[in-house]
Every structure is written in structure tokens, then in C-alpha cells.
Structure 1
Amino acid sequence: MSAEPTGHVMWSPDPIRQRLANHYLEDVLALPDDAPRVELRDGVMIVVPSPTFGHQTIGNLLWMWFRQNAPDDMFIPGTAVGVAVGLRDSLEPDVLLLRPPVPTINHFFLPEQVAIAVEVVSPGTKRRDRFEKPSEYAAAGVSHFWRIEQDPVHVYAYDLVDGRYELAADSDTELELTMPFEIKLPIREITP
């Protein structure tokens, strides 16, 4: 009598399609519910690392701050949704501030719907969050990008100018900006 394997096998990307860089947004949308979050880069699925508790807390507190302070007729905050930057490219920011309408069934939004894309930097995502993602968001035309460093919490806010991000403001005490709305964000309010 042979023992049959029982239980569930965890999803992973098809190695042949990965090697061929042959994945599209439709493939991401068709992933099973238990699949990890992924981004697409030139048709290759990149598993998004699971965020730490501190990382999640910063993102959740920023989402709440946006929810309470952004004009609700002009902006809607979101988390765990993507930005479709092409048929074979997507990004999964930690927090988004979206322009309505925002259909509740969407997993991906177009770059022109994104008012602010936010990345919280963790040890495993430093290079991608500091160097790669800003250039990808800029190339897609996302008008504002924020990078949040941890320990201590420090926010860097960038505006898109002539296809590149320029630092608009940064602070570890209070972030003040005029775009995309009048912002006075006390950093302590997003600090775990």
C-alpha cells in the first residue's frame, strides 16, 4: 500500500513561462487565491516579499491618515492593489492614493488614476524601492511618489517633472506639500 500525498501544494510561477518572460496581467488576475502577491517585470512574475509588522503598520497608518485628511471627493486611498504599467508590467505599491472613480472589483489601476504611489522600504526591498520602482513609476507617468524609510520613519516625497522625479520635500517630523492636495502630515501619526 502506497501513501498518497495529501494536502495542498503551494503555487509557484511556471518555470518555463518565467524563463520565456511570457506572463501578462491576465495571468496575474487568474492566480489562485492562495498565491502570493506578484509584480510583473517584462513578463516575469516577481513574488512580492511579505511585509514585516512595522512595514504594515506604517502603511496602514498612512492609509488611515489619507482616509481622514485627503478630500474624499477627489481621492480614495488603497492598499494591496496594483498599478498596470503595461500588458507585461505591474507594480504593487504599499499604499496608493487614487483618483475616482475607483471600481471596488479592480485589482489593477492605470497610472493616470494614481495620485500618489507609496513604497515603505524594508531590508529585503531596499534596492527595488529606492532605485528601480521610482524610475518605473516615473516612466509610467505617476505624478507623485513617496518613499518611506523605517527606523526612524522618514518620508521622501517626489513630484514628476519632465519624466523624472524631483524631491519636493522630506521630513522625519512633519511633511508639508501642496500637491496633489494641501498636506501637513505629522510623521508621528504614521510611526509604529
Structure 2
Amino acid sequence: MSAEPIATPSGPWCPDPIRQQRADYTLEDLLHLPDDAPRVELVDGIIQVTPSPTLGHQDISSLLWMWLRAHAPTHLRAAQAVGVALNTNTSRQPDVLLRRADVAPDRSLLVPADVVLAAEVVSPGTRRTDRFAKPGEYAAAGIPYYWRVEQDPVHVYAYRRGDRIGPGGERQYELVADSADLIELSEPFEIKLPVAEITP
């Protein structure tokens, strides 16, 4: 009698529930996801499927990417939804980021030293993560600047990694500007961003 092969479940890819319970996924696993895998983030060894963004979220994200692309100096480049390996078992995908221009274009996973600014557009399903979890993770990883963009009305909150130490011993972000009209900053470059230009 011969053994029957185990049937492979049909349907879209999803994380292995046993590995999810063990929280033992790593960055290496992300690099080997199948082509049909949805957009995911890795948080403390657990793969989280990110919800599909709304059209309004995507409009703001695209407009911010285009504005940064048009205004950033040549040593910086804007990108959208590229993974950033924050540590061995956590990777996030900021909605928009500014990276160093000398990073190889074939990279699909950046390290914090590659990233100058991470920006998140807040949606109803991501409020807690974008307001609390991600800024803490980005600051702990050493990303110098974080922008949070709220919708309805569009309002930009710009943060810089400061000297204040958080409960885990890492430096935290401090708010340096916020406006629904005009964001003016001298870092990471001279910025004069009319919020209307990223408002759909």
C-alpha cells in the first residue's frame, strides 16, 4: 500500500496558523512569499495581512509621494509601500517614505539606515497602529523623521526623533509641526508643503 500525497489547500495564500501561534516568522520568510501573497507586514514574528486601503487613502498617499518626488533634493528619493526591516522579526511598509538615493533600485526590503522619513496615512482601521505602534517602532529603529497624515480634513503631523527616552529605553519622536494648511520644516530638507497639494 502506498501513501497518498497530502492535498494542498486551494485558494489564496495565507499564513500558517501554527507558525502564527508560535510567532516565529522571520524576515527571511517574507523574502520567499509566493507571488499571490497579499500585502503583509511582519510584527514580532506574526504575519499581518494589511487591509486594502480606501481610494481616499490612496489619493493622499499618491499626492504626497508625488510632492516629495518633485521637491526632495537629489540625494533623497520618494517611494511607496516598500518594506522596511525594523529588526529580525518585524517589517513595516510605510505608505510613503524618503530613502537615500544611493540605495540599489532592485531592493524590495530596506533597513532603517536607508530611510530618512516614514509617512503613514491614517485610515479608520489603522488609527491605533499609525498613531502609536508604528511611530514607536520607527523611532526605536532609528528612522529620523515620521509624518502622520490624518484624513477628513487632511492634517499633517511632522515628528523628529528627539532626545526623550521612552519606557523601553529608546529615543522617541517629538512633534515639530502640524497643520491642515501649510507645513514648513528645515529637516530633512527645506520644506514648504501646502496641505491642499496633497488633498484630493
CA offsets 1:59-92 (integer angstroms, 9 cap, x no match): 10111001110112x1000012111011111111
- Which of 19, 32, 53 matches 2:21? 19
| Residue pairs, 1:55-134, within 5 angstroms | 55-72=57-74, 74-134=75-135
SS of the aligned residue for 1:11 comes to coil
2: CA distance, partners of 1:144 / 1:41: 21
2: CA distance, partners of 1:48 / 1:107: 17
The aligned amino acid for 2:43 is R
Deviation (angstroms), 1:100: 2.3
How many residue pairs end up in the alignment?
185
SS of the aligned residue for 2:128 comes to helix
Note if contact 1:10-1:35 (Cα within 8 Å) is conserved in structure 2.
Answer: yes
SS of the aligned residue for 1:165 comes to strand
The aligned amino acid for 2:30 is V
- Which of 21, 32, 35 matches 2:34? 32
The aligned amino acid for 1:65 is W
1:4 aligns to what? none
2: CA distance, partners of 1:101 / 1:16: 40
108-117 vs 178-187, which deviates more? 108-117
- Which of 171, 174, 184 matches 2:179? 171
The runs of at least 4 aligned residues of structure 1 exceeding 2 Å deviation read: none
Q: Is structure 2 residue 194 aligned with structure 1 residue 191?
A: no
- Which segments of 5 or more consecutive residues in structure 1 lack a partner in the other structure? 1-7
SS of the aligned residue for 2:42 comes to strand
Deviation (angstroms), 1:104: 1.8
The aligned amino acid for 1:61 is L
SS of the aligned residue for 2:69 comes to helix
The aligned amino acid for 2:178 is D
The aligned amino acid for 2:25 is H
- What is the root-mean-square deviation in Å for CA atoms of aligned residues? 1.2
- Which segments of 5 or more consecutive residues in structure 2 lack a partner in the other structure? 1-9, 164-170
2:56 aligns to what? 54
Deviation (angstroms), 1:183: 0.2
The aligned amino acid for 1:177 is L
2:6 aligns to what? none
TM-score for the superposition, normalised by structure 2: 0.90
